[in-house]
Structure 1
Amino acid sequence: MSLGTRPAANAAERADNGAMVLPGRSHLRAQRAVKIGSLAFLILALSAATLLLGRYTVTIPDFFHIVAGADIPGASFIVMENRIPRVLIGILVGGAFGAAGAVFQTMLRNPLASPDIIGISYGASASAVFAIAFLGASGLALSGFAMAGALAVALAIYVISRRGSVAGYRLILVGIGFSAVLQAVVSFLLTRTDINVATDALAWLNGSLNSSNWDRVTVLSMALAVLAPAVVVLSRPLRGLELGDDAAAGLGVNVERSRLALIVTGVLLAAVATAAAGPVAFIAFLSGPIARRLLGGYRPLGTAALVGMVIVLAGDFAGANLIPGVSLPVGVITGVLGAPFLLWLLATANRSGQGG
């Protein structure tokens, strides 16, 4: 081949390579779209199952008549005041926990870095138990205490783990230490209060959708209407932070400011979800890794939110219908699922030589 024809040959090779890469990318996008669509379908199916099935079965025609305004004795109250708020709270709580977990795990590059592992949910729990046991708080006041406790603990973890810059492993270790301390605080508070009050506090600590109502739906919807756009905007530096502080700084990311903004937003997402349904175990921890495996390492926050919705709705339906005559809180079901996953994650990370 002459020298004059070599550039043309190189151009042809690049064109062939590009033609091979584009179909591969299109196929990958199509696979991701199918999986995301499957998650959305699961959410719809689980919502329909919760709305129609259970101890009192509602037919599809009756459901639409009730939603349209018809008054069917017994069924109207069950659908409008119990099941629809329950489904909506499950979707909103699952999405908030899932997105919060993915924010922390991606930012700190560690699947253990989720609000329910590093003590933030326990901060909300300790504050809420104190409010229940000694102040008689309930409703919006209880939600406010839970949010304040989560924010206070997150701030303490951030300050203690910060030495020049926040290292992911330091923040996780400090958070695990706070979890242990706050569990002891919760246990102490429960021993210092009346047995009936302690029972109410334990019901809240299990994480449940049983107390769902339209007031909680409204408050949680308003909070997420503010936080969801904030997460979308603030998550732009996440891809850079995932590469490490030096690489992120080289890409023009203000590392400390971006990380602090993401921590505050992630804490608020977890806090409002905890305030609405209690500390539902392991949702934030499970959603991100499952979303990542579904999408082959690609982990947008939206997919983690969808996974969180699926887990909460499936756990709630299973808890209400798994054992005849017994209704288990969703937090019990997710705790049973999450503990083995945590052990498996630790075991596989150790075998592959990945640091925690």
Structure 2
Amino acid sequence: MTATPPTGRVDFGAGRKPIRLRGWVSGIVNTRAVLLVLASVVGCILVTIAAIALGDYPVPVTRILPILSGADLGFANTVVLQWRLPRAVATVTFGAALGISGAIFQSVTRNALGSPDVIGFNAGAFTGAIISIGYLGGSQTTTTLLALVGGATAAFAVYALASRRGVSGTRFVIIGIAVSMALIAFDSLLVLRMEQQVATVAMTWGQGDLENIRWQQVTPMCLILAVVIVGAGALGGRMRQLELGDDAASATGVSVEPVRLALIAVGVALTAVVTSVCGPIAFIALAAPHLARLVAGSAGTSLTSAAAAGALLLSSCDLAAQHLLTVQIPVGVVTVVAGGAYLLWLITWKLRRPRG
């Protein structure tokens, strides 16, 4: 065997390249992740333009920028600024929030199924929102607060039951699924006891619906999500350390349980805020981190990549929900179909991969 002479190059992994600025600032950049974020930003812009332009009242693309710049083009201003733009902004912002939430829970549980819509936190937030809609008048403030309380209660129950002998990702997911099923049954009981008209509204909203969203709902929720996302970013480094395991994270100075609880609180808040506005939207939080890892070729998921993938997924699904059929359907229906197809593809792809 002939020894290969050293080349002086270091392999940083697929898609990773070292960078150096001014000779003293250096680091390693995952070029695949950067390309994913850039492609997602471009994709979101194109989808947003299509969402604003298409509809029963078509708006030429050449008129969109003047309207956004302040030009008065009559009824087109109302269509763009009051009806379509709030929904487009919501899909991008909410998709990013769900992507980050999914990345957090998959990291905390170290399980690919660790998503808020799988382990019961979505269902808990939905329970709180149903109580608000059906029995307390359904104001935005009450719905948001009860969604947060419901999601936090579900999270506390799952965490308490799963952490008796140390947190295990598999046990966390299994207990979360059980709690989710119980909450879904309880939600059905609540809906059955409502008046028919209110129950119809609750069930339609429960599919994940963005049809009637306006700036009154979008603006405060986006501000809240921006604050929570900043908090998630501050915890991102510690989250990646937790992925190494509790012992390794402790050895590097991470307070494991407080950081884990803080991450769960942030993930629940992101999910609950979105759910309080448009109902539970399935599979975005599950699929976005998967896609981000697949494209970036990394073992872990960066919050930025997951947010970019989530924003593009939800905005694309909402565009399909508006124009795929002759009538509009709730975006949650599209995400369920797309998410189910993605899971089938993912399972098939993994089964076909040769085992090393």
Amino acid at match of 1:58: V
Between structures 1 and 2, the one with greater helix share: 1
Distance 1:280 1:93 in 2: 10
Q: Taking structure 1 as reference, are residues 88 and 166 closer, same or farther at Cα in structure 2, changes over 3 Å only?
A: same
Amino acid across the alignment from 1:180:
M
- Which residue pairs with 2:168 in the alignment? 167
Q: Which runs of 5+ in 1 are unaligned?
A: 1-12
SS of the aligned residue for 2:57 comes to: coil
Equivalent of residue 299 in structure 1, options 298, 301, 315: 301
Counterparts in 2 of 1:20 and 1:278: CA distance versus 1, 3 Å: closer
Contact 2:208 2:330 in 1 (8 A): yes
2:49 partner amino acid: A
In the alignment, which residue of structure 1 is the partner of 2:130? 129
Q: 1:353 and 1:120 mapped to 2: Cα distance?
A: 35
Which residue in the other structure is 1:115 paired with? 116
Q: Is the 8 A contact 2:15 2:32 kept in 1?
A: no
| AA matched with 1:160 | L
Unpaired runs of 5+ residues, structure 2, are 19-28
Q: Which residue of 8, 14, 21 maps to 1:17? A: 8
Partner of 2:73: 72
Q: CA deviation at 1:197?
A: 0.4
In structure 1, what is the equivalent of residue 23 of structure 2?
none
Is the 1:126–1:149 Cα contact (8 Å) retained in structure 2? yes
- Range that drifts further, 190-199 or 52-61: 52-61
Secondary structure at the aligned position of 2:59 is classed as: coil
Other-structure match for 2:317: 315
2:32/2:297 contact within 8 Å kept = no
Instruction: Show the counterpart of 1:90.
Output: 91
Cα contact 2:15–2:296 (8 A) shared by 1: no
Give me the whole-angstrom Cα distance separating, in 1, the residues matched to 2:107 and 2:349. Answer: 19
Describe the SS at the equivalent of 2:8. helix
Show the counterpart of 1:209. 210
Which amino acid in the other structure matches residue 255 of structure 1? V
1:212 counterpart SS class: coil
Alignment of 1:324-335 (within 5 A): 324=326, 326-335=327-336
Residues 246-255 or 102-111, more deviating:
246-255
Q: Greater Rg, structure 1 or structure 2? A: 1
- 1:93 and 1:276 in contact (8 A); partners too: no
Q: Give 2:197's aligned residue.
A: 196
Establish whether residue 186 from structure 1 lines up as the match of residue 187 from structure 2.
yes
Any conservation in 1 of the 2:126–2:147 contact (CA below 8 Å)?
Answer: yes
**204 and 23 in structure 1: CA distance in 2 versus 1, 3 angstrom threshold:** closer
Cα distance between partner residues in 2 of 1:289 and 1:23: 17
CA contact (8 A) 1:280 1:334 kept: yes
Equivalent runs, 1:223-234 vs 2, <5 Å: 223-234=224-235
> Match for residue 17 of structure 2?
26
CA deviations 1:205-262 (Å, max 9, x no partner) are 0112112211222212221221122111112122221122222223332211111111
Q: Structure 1 counterpart of 2:289, which letter?
A: G
1:105 aligned partner: 106
Q: CA deviation at 1:276?
A: 2.1
CA distance in 2 between partners of 1:278 and 1:118 (Å) = 16
Tell me the CA shift for residue 312 of structure 1. 0.8
Q: 1:190 to 1:58 in 2, by over 3 A?
A: same
Alpha-carbon separation, structure 2, partners of 1:23 and 1:343? 26
Q: Is the 8 A contact 1:95 1:309 kept in 2?
A: yes
Q: Secondary structure at the match of 2:285?
A: helix
| Equivalent residue letter for 2:284 | I
Match of 2:289 in 1: 288
- RMSD across aligned C-alpha pairs, in angstroms? 2.5
Following superposition, the deviation at residue 268 of structure 1 comes to 0.7
- Take 2:13 and 2:247, find their aligned partners in 1: how far apart are those partners? 31
TM-score (normalizing by structure 2): 0.88
Distance 1:102 1:22, change over 3 A: closer
Matches within 5 A, 1:239-318: 239-297=240-298, 298-318=300-320
> How many equivalent residue pairs?
341
C-alpha separation in 2, matches of 1:267 and 1:24: 32
Change (3 A) 1:87 1:117: same
Counterpart Cα distance in 1 of 2:14 and 2:277: 45
Aligned mates of 2:64, 2:285 — CA distance in 1: 32
How far the C-alpha of 1:130 sits from its partner, in A, is 1.7
Q: Deviations over 1:8-53 (max 9, x none)?
A: xxxxx66x33367699742973343223211111111111111112
Superposed displacement of residue 146, structure 1: 1.3
TM-score (norm. length: structure 1)? 0.88
Query: Quick one: structure 1 residues 178 and 31, their matched pair in 2 at CA, closer, same or farther if it must change by over 3 Å?
Result: closer
